[in-house]
Amino acid sequence: MLPRLTGCNKRACTLIASYWSKNRSTYEQTCLQTESSTNSRQLSSRALCYENRQNCTRVYWSGLLAAAVIAASTETESTNTEDTDQADTEQEKATPLPVDPPPPPQVIKYLDSLYDKQEFRELSYSLERYADLNNVDILWRRARAEWEMINMKGKQKSTPDMQVALDLVDQALAVDETNSSAHRWKAIISNAYSSSFGLKRQILDLHIMKYHLERAIELDPTDATVLTLLGMWHMELLELSWYERKFATTFLAALPECSYEEALEFFLKAEEISPFSWNRNLYLIAKTYLRLGDRMKSKHYAELALDQPVVTEDDKKVSDEAENFYRNNFVLL
């Protein structure tokens, strides 16, 4: 009687069953087809050396059975290992990274104070100690710091650097999709990233920027910056040249609907929430009123924009634009 074998696959069972046959060539051919054919041939050769002895058949078939068991156990173990590895990989993909608690409030306050003071290098260095922290408040601040460091390079902005910032803000949203600040910076960084690939990519990705701005204002209706950015989204589309519009229609059926009235509504709402906090918003109100034909209000808001203190590089840029705007439209030559 054969010993009982457990865990054998179909191939092993076939080899064991062939023990009951009397055709040696069939056994040899079957044995050579197993994954342990080398061991099988060695065992078979030993059996052939005892050709003239009574136990020849017993030794030969013992070797064949051993080969069958080896092949069965090896293949079963390999299959089980592959299944286990695949299950582990799928589990890793399905299991999100644990969310870490935020640092103490005084740390967040310190980080934001560095940003307000435009000390972006120091901010970036300070955030490095939290590089392994999977927390939304740290991740979007790291994205913001990366973005400001990119802006310090001026025209030498690189797409890989933007990709780093974009990846960070994507991680923040993966941790907490309900964070309005993460959506705000996703809109800002993704728009700049798309622009680095040209007008076509920027227009094709306009819906991404709008979605995240609208989601941000849905989560925090008092965010004046997001309201200004929504108005800018309308203005940028409205200010496209004839050529740019014609180019856009070659790969879009139609541009998104927008109007100066909607843009003005966003700008005025932002000013109502946070008055005189951003000279850019005042300047954009002046531009929009001029587009709508209200020169008196346009002049008023242009003057307000010029009266604001210049603190940052962006303030300086806006002040220069507002001055040119005022000179070109309201100063008698």
Q: Which residues contact 43 (CB under 8 A, 6 or more apart)?
A: 60, 62, 63, 64, 66, 67
Q: Point out the domain boundary residue: 160, 193, 219.
A: 219
Residue 88 confidence (pLDDT): 54
Instruction: Tell me which of 138 and 78 has the higher pLDDT.
Output: 138
125 found inside a domain: yes
For the chain, give the mean pLDDT.
Answer: 78
255 found inside a domain: yes
Residue 206 confidence (pLDDT): 87
Q: Which pLDDT tens digit goes with each residue over 87-104?
A: 555 544 445 567 788 788
Average of per-residue pLDDT across 263-269: 98
**Confidence band for 204, pLDDT divided at 50, 70 and 90:** confident
The length of the chain in residues reads 333
Contact in structure between 285 and 271 (CB atoms under 8 Å)? yes
Between CA 237 and CA 156 the distance in angstroms is 26
By CB neighbour count within 10 A (0-12 exposed, 13-18 middle, 19+ buried), where does 26 fall? exposed
Average of per-residue pLDDT across 110-128: 93
Contact in structure between 303 and 326 (CB atoms under 8 Å)? yes
CATH code for the domain of 181: 1.25.40
Instruction: Tell me which of 50 and 165 has the higher pLDDT.
Output: 165
| 269 and 189 fall within a common domain | no
Q: Write down the pTM of the prediction.
A: 0.69
Instruction: Tell me which of 308 and 250 has the higher pLDDT.
Output: 308
**Confidence band for 58, pLDDT divided at 50, 70 and 90:** very low
Average of per-residue pLDDT across 238-258: 83
| 213 and 234 fall within a common domain | no
By CB neighbour count within 10 A (0-12 exposed, 13-18 middle, 19+ buried), where does 51 fall? exposed
Between CA 57 and CA 48 the distance in angstroms is 9
Contact in structure between 268 and 285 (CB atoms under 8 Å)? yes
The candidate with the shortest Cα–Cα distance to 178, out of 234, 225, 140, 127, is 140
151 found inside a domain: yes
Q: Which pLDDT tens digit goes with each residue over 140-193?
A: 999 999 999 988 876 556 678 889 999 999 999 999 999 999 999 999 999 989
Residue 171 confidence (pLDDT): 96
The region of weakest confidence among 33-37, 172-176, 238-242 is 33-37
Q: Which domain holds residue 47?
A: 10-77
Structural domains of the chain, count: 3
Residue 280 confidence (pLDDT): 97
Q: Point out the domain boundary residue: 77, 112, 133.
A: 77
Give Rg (Cα) of the chain. Answer: 36
Chain centre distance of CA 147: 16
Contact in structure between 30 and 65 (CB atoms under 8 Å)? no
CATH code for the domain of 247: 1.25.40.10
Q: Point out the domain boundary residue: 60, 77, 94.
A: 77
pLDDT at residue 50 is higher than 70: no
Residue 3 confidence (pLDDT): 42
Contact in structure between 182 and 163 (CB atoms under 8 Å)? no
* Share above pLDDT 70 across residues of the chain, in percent, rounded to a whole number: 68
The candidate with the shortest Cα–Cα distance to 181, out of 147, 150, 226, is 226
Instruction: Tell me which of 86 and 226 has the higher pLDDT.
Output: 226
24-32 and 56-94 helices, crossing angle to 10°: 30
Instruction: Tell me which of 102 and 290 has the higher pLDDT.
Output: 290
Most confident of 79-88, 133-142, 236-245, 247-256: 133-142
Termini Cα distance of the chain = 116
Contact in structure between 165 and 189 (CB atoms under 8 Å)? yes
Q: Cite the beta strand spans of 25-163 per DSSP E.
A: none
Amino acid in the structure at residue 314: D
